[in-house]
Chain A
Amino acid sequence: MKSYKVLFVGSPGSGKTTAIRAISEVDVVDTDTKVSDSTIKRKRTTTVGMDYGKLTLSDDAVLHLYGTPGQERFKFMWDLMVSDLANDASALILLVDNTRNYPFKDIDYYLSEFWDYIVKRHFVIAVTRSDLQNEPTEADYQQQLKNKGIIAPIIFIDARQSIQVLDLVSSALSQETHTINWTEVSHRVAKTEISKRNPDPDSPQFEWMRKTRDVPKISIIEAATQVRGILGATHINAQKEVTETSVNEKKYNDLFCSLSKIADTVEGKLPETELIKSISLYGPYQDSISVFREHDQSLGLITKQTMTHQQIRQQADDLLQWSDNVKDSNEA
């Protein structure tokens, strides 16, 4: 029996679990649990271990589908999967959520994290949620990859639609599966999907037809303060004005704005065009202060000293990626 393996990676909420579930013929082994961090801005549950699904390709070939947990704090699972479970995978599919504020930043991050793995395998970028946010466009993604000197197919998909996911997987495996009759597999997947369909038009299965998503409405600051260890959060716009805050003491907000301005000044003096991504302050037995920056917004955080810098950074990165305030920042 010939086995093929594909590994799905991507940011939290990019659709890894959904994509695997869409084409797997067995109930997907998922390890979803209730969200307890900034991911609450996007969804109620998140993968903490891994996803696994399976699809028969022919009488003597089977496809194993693996999905990593999106959050960096479960990075040990990434290492385990690339070194063991999915070490012999033929392809890596990077799912990029087009509604994130800086999707190119996600590509850079995952290229950096999985580079050694990617160079030895087929690599495809699949852009999801483009029905909700149509920019960046395919041309923008192609230009971005070209600028980086990377050649990879870019495919826009709806991760909830089995045929689109199957097309994606067959593209990723196209050079290895000459003997597979993908048309037959496609018919079988479509038939399975129809047989599983809930006749109720309001069921989640028909969500893609309604073009709406059940995304919890919660602000960046509300989401930040639900993260264990974050004691206060302030959003600052491009004009260095506080747009939203959970911090009552003015001196902290003044400090966040001052640090953001210092970063601007230093950036202007740097010999090369580089972004100052963050400024942090620590002291013995003191809560930490950090400002995380993008070119059009900043996030100030007061965090418990027990939180590591890596934990704070990942929460801040996701919050800035999902911030609804960035649009207001640009318009201000």
Chain B
Amino acid sequence: MSKILTKLESLAGTQCSVLYSQGQSAFSTFPVEKSRYAKLAYQAFHHIFKHAHRVNAKYDEAHLQIGNERYICFQVAQECFYISLLPPKSDINKAQKVIRGAHKVLTKLHNSTAPT
């Protein structure tokens, strides 16, 4: 399944990504040394969306810029977040469009993690 993420990363121009489902990292291409950042980003995005949805429930994409790196998170489903890391000077608009366009694929990945 991580191959799907790698393909998506190459199209979006992202460095690595992770799909969090039900609070757990379901699929990830984050290297070990970056995994702490990924977990921290997930926790941050969880809180960000909680506060954002009090204003407008339609917000489904959040960005967190830490130093020169940018974490982009798409809320795929209620408890499913797809988080990507963009290296400095990346094309943000391209990444946004590509990942948003992959919503169906990400939903399928999320569904595949659901207990049968």
Contact: B93 with A262, CB < 8 Å? no
A289 at the binding interface (Cβ < 8 Å): yes
Measured CB to CB, the closest approach of chain A to B57, in angstroms, equals: 9
Contact: B92 with A283, CB < 8 Å? no
Contact string, B39-59, partner A, CB cutoff 8 A, digits 1/0?
Answer: 010011001100110111011
Across the A-B interface, how many residue pairs have beta carbons closer than 8 Å? 79
Contact string, A265-303, partner B, CB cutoff 8 A, digits 1/0?
Answer: 110011100111111111111100100000000000000
Contact: A286 with B58, CB < 8 Å? yes
A132 at the binding interface (Cβ < 8 Å): no
Taking CB atoms, residues of chain A closer than 8 Å to B105 are none
Contact: B58 with A266, CB < 8 Å? no
Residue of A nearest to B92 (CB): A309
Measured CB to CB, the closest approach of chain B to A43, in angstroms, equals: 28
Q: Which of B51-90 contact A (CB under 8 A)?
A: 51-52, 54-56, 58-67
Contact: B59 with A286, CB < 8 Å? yes
Measured CB to CB, the closest approach of chain A to B72, in angstroms, equals: 9
Q: Which of A224-281 contact B (CB under 8 A)?
A: 251-252, 254-255, 258-259, 262, 265-266, 269-271, 274-281
Contact string, B20-51, partner A, CB cutoff 8 A, digits 1/0?
Answer: 00000000000000001100100110011001
Contact: B59 with A289, CB < 8 Å? yes
Contact: A283 with B51, CB < 8 Å? no
Residue of A nearest to B46 (CB): A262
Contact: A308 with B58, CB < 8 Å? no
A269-B40 contact in complex given A255-B51, A262-B48, C-beta closer than 8 Å: yes
Contact: A283 with B61, CB < 8 Å? yes
Measured CB to CB, the closest approach of chain B to A209, in angstroms, equals: 43
Taking CB atoms, residues of chain B closer than 8 Å to A279 are 48, 62-65
Q: How far is the CA of A280 from the CA of B59 in the complex (A)?
A: 10
Contact: B58 with A283, CB < 8 Å? yes
Q: How far is the CA of A148 from the CA of B67 in the complex (A)?
A: 16
User: What is the predominant secondary structure among interface residues of chain A facing chain B?
Assistant: mixed
Q: How far is the CA of A281 from the CA of B52 in the complex (A)?
A: 8
Q: How far is the CA of A55 from the CA of B39 in the complex (A)?
A: 59
Choose among A265, A266, A283, A308 the residue that contacts B59 (Cβ–Cβ < 8 A): A283
Taking CB atoms, residues of chain B closer than 8 Å to A277 are 65-67
Contact: A286 with B56, CB < 8 Å? yes
Question: Count the B residues whose beta carbon is within 8 Å of the partner chain — how many?
Answer: 25
User: What is the predominant secondary structure among interface residues of chain B facing chain A?
Assistant: helix
Residue of A nearest to B63 (CB): A280
Contact: B48 with A281, CB < 8 Å? yes
A212 at the binding interface (Cβ < 8 Å): no
Measured CB to CB, the closest approach of chain A to B36, in angstroms, equals: 6
Contact: B40 with A278, CB < 8 Å? no
Q: How far is the CA of A255 from the CA of B63 in the complex (A)?
A: 15
A309-B63 contact in complex given A270-B40, A279-B48, A282-B96, C-beta closer than 8 Å: yes
Taking CB atoms, residues of chain B closer than 8 Å to A183 are none
Choose among A265, A274, A280 the residue that contacts B66 (Cβ–Cβ < 8 A): A274
Contact: B66 with A281, CB < 8 Å? no
Contact: B92 with A284, CB < 8 Å? no
Additional A-B contacts beyond A255-B55, A282-B62 (13; CB < 8 A): A254-B54, A255-B54, A258-B51, A262-B44, A262-B47, A266-B64, A276-B64, A281-B61, A281-B63, A282-B60, A283-B56, A283-B59, A308-B93
Jot down 8 A-B pairs with beta carbons below 8 A, ordered by A: A251-B54, A252-B55, A258-B51, A262-B44, A262-B48, A270-B40, A277-B67, A308-B92
Chain B residues at the A interface, C-beta cutoff of 8 Å = 36-37, 40, 43-44, 47-48, 51-52, 54-56, 58-67, 92-93, 96
6 closest A-B pairs (Cβ-Cβ)? A283-B58, A282-B61, A274-B67, A283-B59, A280-B63, A277-B65
